[in-house]
Structure 1
Amino acid sequence: MDEDGTYPVKLYIYDLSRGMARQLSPLMLGKQLDGIWHTAVVVHGKEFFFVGEGINSCPPGGTPLGEPDSVVDMGFTEVSAELFMEYLTSLAESTYGADKYKLFEHNCNTFSSEVAQFLTGKKIPSYITDLPSEVLSTPFGQALRPLLDSIVINPGGSNITGQR
């Protein structure tokens, strides 16, 4: 906590393709993608993210993905750790339960944007949230959609509600 009673909020951004999207996307999709983004919100000393098993947390940079490719300073929040955990629990019981994950429509980036907006009033950068529609706007993306819809991203961490 800072002197003024606020807590810093960061967005951790990971490229799940480890640079492959940048190299292969022009060939496969006919357009340049800079990465396949996984995001997490870091606040109150933990990294929070949404995966196929629900909302998870870990120490910052503590998933098998390692350190993030980039970090965006989202500003500060006055939301206490206790209130934030109540908020996350309510999300886990409603819109971000394990059965709600959808790779294109309802994923880690949807979660990060909603949580960042709750904490700071700001959404995450649009180049991240617009990626699924960019991929699906291509013939190759449409052809791959059935396969891609079956993929569940899970970089590890502990489920915040203890449900598996």
Structure 2
Amino acid sequence: MEQTGSFPVKLYVYDLSRGMARQLSSLMLGKQLDGIWFVCCLCYRHTAIVVHGKEYFFVGEGINSCSPGGTPLGEPDSIVDLGFTEVPAEIFTEYLTSLAESTFRGDKYNLFEHNCNTFSNEVAQFLTGKKIPSYITDLPSEVLSTPFGRALRPLLDSIVINPGGSNITGQR
């Protein structure tokens, strides 16, 4: 049965560095940053979309889901209200399945160019017509433009983050 109505859409933001990004960014990057929205040595920000009572995110094994705040990461460090969607759960599930079989397959994951933040941004636009905050999506290129970021890129390219959850295509 298809749901009708308006459903809240949230962006969950997790700081895997537990505040170290803020403390070490000046030393490592030559500028103060409030957070680093991807892996950079000790620092990582992970994002997910929460809608229809579930949390959805993209990791190295594909699109995963869990109950909101249900990954081993615990509760998010911040929640951004993205507005509301009229997209019912059934249509959203079809959309996610399509993404999981194409654009957001696990083998398409790339820490810098095609990651959880890319996924959250695309899904947010599908659901609400709005992007996630640019301070999240723009930071990878900003950090990679620093000497430290360029030096660490080969190492960081091999890192894949997986905070748990169930793969939406049932594959592991």
Q: 1:157 aligns with which of 131, 146, 165?
A: 165
Deviations 1:54-75 (A, max 9, x none): 0000000001111111101111
Structure 1 unaligned spans of 5+: none
Bigger mean CA deviation after superposition, 137-146 or 29-38 = 29-38
For 2:7, the aligned partner's letter is Y
Q: 1:65 aligns with which of 73, 87, 97?
A: 73
Between the aligned partners of 2:19 and 2:171, the Cα distance in structure 1 is: 33
**Equivalent residue runs for 1:47-62 within 5 Å:** 47-62=55-70
Deviations 1:94-115 (A, max 9, x none): 1000100000000000000000
Between the aligned partners of 1:32 and 1:96, the Cα distance in structure 2 is: 32
Between the aligned partners of 1:162 and 1:153, the Cα distance in structure 2 is: 19
Q: 1:83 aligns with which of 69, 72, 91?
A: 91
1:44 aligned onto 2:52: yes
Q: Is the 8 A contact 1:18 1:35 kept in 2?
A: no
Between the aligned partners of 1:34 and 1:163, the Cα distance in structure 2 is: 36
Length-normalised TM-score, structure 2: 0.92
Which residue of the partner structure matches residue 131 of structure 2? 123
Q: Is the 8 A contact 1:16 1:35 kept in 2?
A: no
**Equivalent residue runs for 1:1-150 within 5 Å:** 5-36=5-36, 37-150=45-158
Give how far 1:32 is off: 1.5
Give how far 1:156 is off: 0.4
Length-normalised TM-score, structure 1: 0.96
Over aligned residues, Cα RMSD in angstroms? 0.9
For 2:35, the aligned partner's letter is G
Between the aligned partners of 1:48 and 1:34, the Cα distance in structure 2 is: 24
Structure 2 unaligned spans of 5+: 37-44
Query: What is the number of equivalent residue pairs in this alignment?
Result: 161
Bigger mean CA deviation after superposition, 31-40 or 70-79 = 31-40
For 2:91, the aligned partner's letter is L
Q: Is the 8 A contact 1:5 1:78 kept in 2?
A: yes
Give how far 1:33 is off: 2.0
Between the aligned partners of 2:156 and 2:33, the Cα distance in structure 1 is: 16
Percent identical: 88
